[in-house]
Chain A
Amino acid sequence: MRAQLRAAALGPLRGADLDLEPGRYVVLGSEREPQILLVALLAGAERPKRGNALLDGRSPAASPEARRKVAALLGDEALPPAKTVQHSVAKALAARNGNASAAAGLLADAGLAQLAEVDPRRLGPRETRSVALALALAHDAAELFALHEPLTTLLAAQFVLGRLDHHTARGAIVLGCTTSPADASVLGGQWLCVEHGRLRTQERTTLRLGAGPWQRVLVETPDARTLSQLLVESPHGLATELVSPDALTVIGPALDVTVHELLTLARKHELELRRIEAAVPPVEALLAARAGFARAAYEASRAAAIAPHHPPTSLPQGPEAP
């Protein structure tokens, strides 16, 4: 199976170029990014306004055969209408030529047995997504798993990850989309970043230096060169710049992921870390500094107005540019 998006655009998704072969991938982006549409395009739920979405050369929106090979968790899920959730799951299984009588077992395996006799219309969005995820994870004939926020349902994370490992091991493409760097780290696989509605599969070396929510971290350690080599081999696509024999800059997606990887490697290889510091101050800190500067300027001008015969108080200096 090969999943491709060629300049695919739909609404806020301004352009997606992906070429995925069997393996594990995770798409990370902020909540404003159209990751829901990315999953909908791959699942054939939507067709691109421009460009193409192809699974083995066929459009999933137009080809029932292509859709049969996709297991998806959409952003907004709807189960087939039926009297009970179990009947609904049975209909979905029958539609994919599966064994409809396995519905009860499927729900029980996923820890959703309590929902089996519930009217699907009475389920909340999270419960509906949980049932849809259970259905997707049980699709052993699927060759592409496109899952939007798979770790935010009622299903246990260990169950979800176990099933994803199973499908990855049997040669499927497993693509998870999330806004949480922590979830992305847990989901594992190659990281792809969607930013300003654009997504590209890039070579690993390019990915490290490309656009994305990248953050710089300054690290002091007695053996910066060894740590740098270890970080470069990290699966998270971290890049390093050696500042001195005992200091380096690490560039990675999201601070928590980079620091977590640093600590893990240091512990594993018994390296001493003397200092870890974010090279770019957080936006909140910059805003606070600006607010303080504005307040000080106001106080100075007010003091000058009250005492006009005295020379004006000098204005304080602004925050340093990052």
Chain B
Amino acid sequence: MSVRAGVDLAHERLRQHATIVAAVLSFAFVLGVALLERAQGAVGAADRALTGGVFGVGLPLVCYFLVGRACAGTSLPQALLPLARHGLDRGALTLGLALPPALLAAGFGGLSSLLVVLVTRGPGDPRLLADAWTSLTIGVVSGPAYVGALLGASALGRRGQGRTWLLAADFLLGAGDSFLAFPWPKGHIRNLLGGSAVLELSQLGALVALLGTSLAFLLLGRLRAQR
């Protein structure tokens, strides 16, 4: 009951024109980056566009936007209040609230990475299908991972400033590969795409770390909202 109500809460908040506008702009940005990278040279264009445009900038910002909308621009406990005050469980509501933005983020991550690979490689490239499948998978996993982490961080700060702090930390600290980059999604996604590894983790280790840290953020946020 509470999970369903949480899903409905997020669905109603995301069912706005602004969400469609943001999606169109984000796809346009990703496409623009792909075209620019291809214009600079076909060799390595897909990698540059994916690590920079899609997973470096586009996906984190889209997830930040989606979580902000799902939380109605406020903190996680306040976002749950309209239903939690009537007796619904905040923990279950949190999980429900995470589902719609996670699905949208998975869709954006998958489609945008697919689009970038198609544009940068071209239809005649023999590695097109393999690259497209790998990028699609990483996009589908990375979107929900970002949403989980950002939603959990939204429990910090009176107006949910925690998600802004997490985004800033992801951009600044996630760019490295030391232990400081470990809690943030960016370094692990870079590893999955074939870039430098955080703490020299394998790709499987990076996948586990990405999902594990995101889940940890989400559960911490859930715990904080429940108290």
CB of B227 within 8 A of CB of A80, answer no
CB of A67 within 8 A of CB of B8, answer no
Known A67-B87, A81-B9, A91-B8; judge A62-B226 contact (CB<8 A).
yes
Q: How far is the CB of B121 from chain A (nearest CB, A)?
A: 42
- CA of A80 to CA of B82, assembled, Å: 5
8 Å CB interface, B54-102 against A: 72, 81-90
- CA of A101 to CA of B12, assembled, Å: 20
How many interface residues does chain A have, given as a range?
20 to 34
Inter-chain contacts of B84 with A (CB < 8 A):
44, 64, 67
CB of A81 within 8 A of CB of B87, answer no
Answer yes or no: B13 CB below 8 A from chain A CBs: yes
Answer yes or no: B5 CB below 8 A from chain A CBs: yes
- CA of A78 to CA of B13, assembled, Å: 13
* Interface residue from B5, B85, B87, B89 paired with A91 (Cβ < 8 Å): B5
Answer yes or no: A243 CB below 8 A from chain B CBs: no
Q: How far is the CB of A44 from chain B (nearest CB, A)?
A: 7
How many interface residues does chain B have, given as a range?
10 to 19
8 Å CB interface, B212-227 against A: 226-227
Known A61-B227, A62-B226, A62-B227; judge A72-B85 contact (CB<8 A).
yes
Known A47-B227, A81-B9; judge A64-B83 contact (CB<8 A).
no
CB of A65 within 8 A of CB of B87, answer yes
Inter-chain contacts of A81 with B (CB < 8 A):
9, 12-13, 72, 82
Q: How far is the CB of B91 from chain A (nearest CB, A)?
A: 9
Inter-chain contacts of B9 with A (CB < 8 A):
80-81
Inter-chain contacts of A62 with B (CB < 8 A):
226-227
Q: How far is the CB of A31 from chain B (nearest CB, A)?
A: 21
- CA of A70 to CA of B84, assembled, Å: 11
Q: How far is the CB of B223 from chain A (nearest CB, A)?
A: 11
Answer yes or no: A95 CB below 8 A from chain B CBs: yes
- CA of A300 to CA of B156, assembled, Å: 63
8 Å CB interface, A89-112 against B: 91-92, 94-97
CB of B88 within 8 A of CB of A79, answer no
Question: Of residues B5, B8, B87, B88, which shows the largest number of chain A Cβ atoms within 10 Å of its Cβ?
Answer: B87
* Interface residue from B8, B81, B87 paired with A78 (Cβ < 8 Å): B81
Q: How far is the CB of B52 from chain A (nearest CB, A)?
A: 36
CB of B87 within 8 A of CB of A64, answer yes
8 Å CB interface, A42-60 against B: 43-45, 47
- CA of A82 to CA of B5, assembled, Å: 12
Known A61-B227, A62-B226, A62-B227; judge A45-B12 contact (CB<8 A).
no
* Interface residue from B5, B82, B85, B227 paired with A67 (Cβ < 8 Å): B85
Q: How far is the CB of B199 from chain A (nearest CB, A)?
A: 37
Known A81-B13, A91-B5; judge A64-B82 contact (CB<8 A).
no
Inter-chain contacts of B82 with A (CB < 8 A):
78-81, 92
Closest to A46 in B: B77
A63-92 CB mask vs B (1 if < 8 Å, else 0) is: 011011010100000111110000000011
- CA of A309 to CA of B8, assembled, Å: 89
Inter-chain contacts of B89 with A (CB < 8 A):
64
CB of A95 within 8 A of CB of B5, answer yes
Closest to B13 in A: A81
Q: How far is the CB of A189 from chain B (nearest CB, A)?
A: 23
CB of B86 within 8 A of CB of A92, answer yes
- CA of A79 to CA of B82, assembled, Å: 6
Q: How far is the CB of A10 from chain B (nearest CB, A)?
A: 12
Q: How far is the CB of B31 from chain A (nearest CB, A)?
A: 32
CB of B12 within 8 A of CB of A82, answer yes
- Please list the residues of chain A having a beta carbon within 8 angstroms of any beta carbon in chain B: 43-45, 47, 61-62, 64-65, 67-68, 70, 72, 78-82, 91-92, 94-97
A–B pairs, 22, beta carbons within 8 Å: A43-B85, A44-B84, A44-B85, A45-B81, A61-B227, A64-B84, A64-B87, A64-B88, A64-B89, A65-B87, A67-B86, A68-B87, A80-B83, A81-B72, A81-B82, A91-B5, A91-B83, A92-B83, A95-B5, A95-B83, A95-B88, A97-B87
- Shortest 8 CB-CB distances between A and B: which pairs? A68-B87, A81-B12, A95-B86, A96-B86, A80-B82, A64-B89, A67-B87, A95-B83
- Please list the residues of chain B having a beta carbon within 8 angstroms of any beta carbon in chain A: 5, 8-9, 12-13, 72, 81-90, 226-227
